[in-house]
């Protein structure tokens, strides 16, 4: 199949490139700036840019990983956040409508408030975002659904993996290796997602022409603190460097949902999603 990928220099874009490289699909990596993996400039906030690339490449599917994904930056700069996360997705939806293209879009657990007792959310649970980022991603879902195009929205949680772009696992490991203290909260609980698993789920959604909302994340619920302890123990690093703190100690700009996890039955049965165990993913990332 012919697949256009946006945001190719990001954490997920990079993992999708590595997966597509092993496949028979023809694909084009793009980003709003040239360099890195991007072979073409595609700024999703510019309709001209979207139209130019799509009309010349003529993809059957677009995987949109482009986003303003820094939660605190979104809180400080609502305008740019909305432009990329909502207006950019509207541009992609319009072009998908015009050329009958299947759109695979990534959303987030931050559309939920994380106040559910067990913290496990289903695809049809009622969203209630606490931050500008969460609001923008929920708005992006609504733009796609109301456009009526063929689409799959994959919501995911705290993504980590192997990329120069810092992510939670590389951040914690680097800090501990340098002998520096790291503050990790125990009152924010997530189901961290190995980026390679998410990349495979995106490609599976393309191949299966999946439509609708899918929850895609790791299979284990843990706090940031638990994750730090697991990383220190796996790599035999000094766990005494991990400061056990609470959310109120961090003064984060945007509010975070306390506990978020996903029920995975739908993605396991319809996308053949198969989450990698944390220890196995650490082995894959750093070996
Ligand atoms: N990472 C997580 O923990 C997490 C959790 C839940 C959901 N998600 C969602 O997963 C998706 C992928 O996230 P990620 O972690 O791969 O993010 P990322 O590493 O920040 O990658 C996003 C990419 O989009 C690019 N971009 C920004 N504005 C653009 C524009 N106008 N046009 C085209 N590209 C643009 C960025 O370019 P620059 O390199 O120049 O910044 C970046 O390379 C996003 O939709 C995000 O909201 C992520």
d(CA 247, CA 160): 21
Q: What is the mean pLDDT of the chain?
A: 97
DSSP 8-state code for residue 87: I
- What φ, ψ does residue 47 adopt, rounded to 5°? -60, -35
Q: Is the pLDDT of residue 170 over 70?
A: yes
What is the per-residue pLDDT for 213?
Answer: 98
DSSP H or E stretch at residue 199: helix 195-207
Q: In the block, which residue shows the tokens 């996308």?
A: 271
| pTM for this model (two decimals) | 0.97
Q: In the block, which residue shows the tokens 């993913």?
A: 281
Q: Is the pLDDT of residue 287 over 90?
A: no
Instruction: Quote the percentage of the chain above a pLDDT of 90.
Output: 97
d(CA 199, CA 55): 25
DSSP 8-state code for residue 123: T
Q: Is the pLDDT of residue 165 over 90?
A: no
Q: Is the CB of 16 under 6 A from ligand 1?
A: no
Pick from 7, 1, 12, 285: which is nearest to 157 by CA? Answer: 12
d(CA 32, CA 92): 14
Range scoring the smallest mean pLDDT among 130-144, 156-170, 202-216: 156-170
What is the per-residue pLDDT for 121?
Answer: 98
What is the per-residue pLDDT for 163?
Answer: 66
d(CA 184, CA 250): 9
**Ligand 1 geometric centre to CA of 84 (Å):** 10
Q: To test the ligand 1 pocket, which listed residue (19, 32, 35, 67) has its Cβ within 8 A of the most ligand atoms?
A: 67
DSSP 8-state code for residue 125: S
What is the per-residue pLDDT for 67?
Answer: 98
Paired tokens of 224: 């940031």
What is the per-residue pLDDT for 143?
Answer: 98
Q: In the block, which residue shows the tokens 């986003």?
A: 67
Paired tokens of 197: 């698993």
Q: Is the CB of 170 under 6 A from ligand 1?
A: no
Query: For 254-280, how does the pLDDT look when each residue is reduced to its tens digit (9 = 90+)?
Result: 999 999 999 999 999 999 999 999 999
Query: For 12-30, how does the pLDDT look when each residue is reduced to its tens digit (9 = 90+)?
Result: 999 999 999 999 999 999 9
Q: What is the number of helices (H) and of strands (E) in the chain?
A: 12, 15
What is the per-residue pLDDT for 166?
Answer: 84
Ligand 1 atom with least separation from CA of 133? 47
Q: Are 257 and 137 in contact (CB under 8 A)?
A: no
Q: Whose CA is nearest to atom 11 of ligand 1?
A: 65
d(CA 213, CA 17): 23
The mean per-residue pLDDT over the stretch 206-230 comes to 98
Pairing relationship of beta strands 151-156 and 189-190 according to DSSP bridges: unpaired
Count CB neighbours of 48 within 10 A: 9
Q: To test the ligand 1 pocket, which listed residue (11, 29, 34) has its Cβ within 8 A of the most ligand atoms?
A: 11
The mean per-residue pLDDT over the stretch 46-72 comes to 98
Break the chain down into helix, strand, coil percent, rounded to 5: 45, 20, 35
Paired tokens of 281: 């993913």
The mean per-residue pLDDT over the stretch 203-221 comes to 98
Domains in the chain (CATH in brackets) are: 2-160+193-218+261-276 (3.40.50.720)
**Ligand 1 geometric centre to CA of 10 (Å):** 5
Query: For 147-161, how does the pLDDT look when each residue is reduced to its tens digit (9 = 90+)?
Result: 999 999 999 999 999
Pick from 66, 57, 67, 68: which is nearest to 25 by CA? Answer: 57
Query: For 100-126, how does the pLDDT look when each residue is reduced to its tens digit (9 = 90+)?
Result: 999 999 999 999 999 999 999 999 999
């Amino acid at each position: 199949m012919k697949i256009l990928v946006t945001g190719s220099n990001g954490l997920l874009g990079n993992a999708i490139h590595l997966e597509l490289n092993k496949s028979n699909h023809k694909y084009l990596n793009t980003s709003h700036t040239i360099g890195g993996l991007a072979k073409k400039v595609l700024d999703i906030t510019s309709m001209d840019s979207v139209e130019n690339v799509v009309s010349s490449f003529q993809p059957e599917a677009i995987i949109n990983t482009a986003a303003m994904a820094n939660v605190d930056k979104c809180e400080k700069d609502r305008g740019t956040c909305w432009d990329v996360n909502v207006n950019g997705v509207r541009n992609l939806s319009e072009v998908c409508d015009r050329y009958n293209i299947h759109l695979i879009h990534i959303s987030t657990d931050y559309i939920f408030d994380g106040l559910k007792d067990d913290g496990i959310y289903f695809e049809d649970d009622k969203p209630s975002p606490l931050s500008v980022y969460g609001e923008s991603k929920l708005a992006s879902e609504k733009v796609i659904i109301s456009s009526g195009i063929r689409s799959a929205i994959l919501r995911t949680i705290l993504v980590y993996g192997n990329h120069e772009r810092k992510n939670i696992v590389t951040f914690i490991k680097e800090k501990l290796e340098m002998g520096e203290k790291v503050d990790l909260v125990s009152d924010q609980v997530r189901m961290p997602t190995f980026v390679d698993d998410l990349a495979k789920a995106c490609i599976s959604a393309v191949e299966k022409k999946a439509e609708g909302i899918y929850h895609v994340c790791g299979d284990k619920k843990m706090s940031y603190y638990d994750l730090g302890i697991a990383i220190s123990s796996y790599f035999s690093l000094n766990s005494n460097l991990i400061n056990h703190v609470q959310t109120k100690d961090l003064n984060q700009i945007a509010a975070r949902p306390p506990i978020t996890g996903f029920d995975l039955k739908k993605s396991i049965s319809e996308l053949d999603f198969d989450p990698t165990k944390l220890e196995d993913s650490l082995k894959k990332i750093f070996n």
